Structure 1
Amino acid sequence: MGFALQFWVSNEYIDDSSEGTICIDRASVIVSYCTAYTDPMAMCQNATVQLSGAGTASITPAMVDGGSTADCGIQSLSVSPNTFTCGDLGPNRVTLTVTDVNGNMNSCMATVTVEDNRSTYDQLSFEHHSELRSGAVQRSDDLHRTNRH
């Protein structure tokens, strides 16, 4: 909640000449003051991030801020957690915290979906089979390739 006060200062001068001119000088002073007794309004939006080639991703508060407001202005936004790895694939809950210029705080929750769209890789597996038939050993080797995507 903020308000502005406006003060008027006026001085009147009367000229004693025959025309009787009156001159009035006015000056105004505006004083602005903001005090907030209510917490800021934290508004979240969900986000999606991609892992880097190193297998990590990070977010900024702006990525999950959905238009947070504060009566006297926002001093800072923070988000936690803000870093992710391949162990965080899928949806993750994060907290956005909004702090106004008077130190009042509020928070909201958003979902950050971590995706891994790095280049595909193949998984190779090797199977060796031995079988005894009619007194002879038959061997076979199989190489299996599985695409990650």
Structure 2
Amino acid sequence: MKHKSLTLTGYGAITAAAFGTLLLSLSGCFTERRNEGAQLYATHCSSCHGDQGQGLKRLIPPVAAADYVAQHRAELPCLIRKGLKGPLVVNGIDYNQVMPGHEDLTDSQIANLLNFVQQSWGNKNQPYTIREASELLGHCNGSDGQ
């Protein structure tokens, strides 16, 4: 019994090469998007909450291994967008500082930022979809639909 070998010639070879190029270019897009949350955290959050989410003693709460992050999921998108003024308790410690809002971030950027926090430094929480973040932002009139 003879086995036929499969070779790509002509149109098939061009199509395979184009498909491979497309996959390589798309992986670059996804890589950048995947890292967006870490970049947004570094830009907008790390100066207060720390490079490793550790917070600042009893002044600024941690986001690393923070019970607040797990227990207040529905509130976090609005907290990012609108900020916070007033007391809160994180890991049993009282905090009462002003956190500025980030009106300049899109809904999808807020979702990516929160997903970075949700999966970093001991946090093992469910990631947000952009749709979920937008719906939750609607509760504080903070959704931009992007």
**TM-score of Structure 1 vs Structure 2, range by shorter chain:** under 0.3
Structure-2-length-normalised TM-score: 0.21
Report the structure, 1 or 2, having the larger strand content.
Answer: 1
Structure having the higher Rg: 1
